[in-house]
Amino acid sequence: MLRFFCAGCLALHPPAPIGETCWTACNFSELLYENWEGKYFLLNPASGHTHVLNHAGFVLLQELARQPATLTELAHRHLEDQAQVNLLAQHIGQLELIGLICRAAPED
């Protein structure tokens, strides 16, 4: 089970409308990243931006790189407590805001 911890910046940015949107990682194979003391430092060469993710955020990004998923699918796979769905939605919104994930067409 993943535990999603609130970061201070998540409170500053409301999450994007989530619904049953399908999410995927944007250009994950192009990212340069390093795990340092439990934090993941990512460099996006396309944008020149550097990001710091906790373990849960990085695992979420990796999973969306392997297979697009909706919030409902992610919650079903990783959350035992449905009260954490809002926090997961905030993480998704934050990852979209910084350009690491984007909306994808759902698979039929």
Task: Give the per-residue pLDDT at 64.
Answer: 95
**19 or 90, greater pLDDT:** 90
pLDDT tens column, 60-105 = 999 999 999 999 899 888 887 877 888 888 889 999 999 999 998 7
Query: What are the Cα distances from residue 45, in Å, to 24, 33, 101, 103, 105?
Result: 18, 11, 15, 20, 25
| pLDDT band at residue 2 using 50, 70 and 90 as cut-offs | very low
pLDDT grade for 59, boundaries at 50, 70 and 90: very high
Architecture, CATH, for domain 20-104: Alpha-Beta Complex (3.90)
Given this model, what pLDDT does residue 107 score?
A: 56
The total of other beta-carbon atoms located within 10 Å of residue 31's CB is 18
Residue ranges covered by each domain of the chain: 20-104
Residue 52: per-residue pLDDT: 95
Alpha helical stretches, state H, 5-70: 8-12, 55-66
Kindly report, residue by residue over 22-53, the tens digit of the pLDDT.
999 998 999 999 999 989 999 999 889 999 99
Is 16 exposed, middle or buried (CB count within 10 Å of its CB: 0-12, 13-18, 19+)? middle
- Angstrom distance (rounded) from CA 81 to CA 75: 9
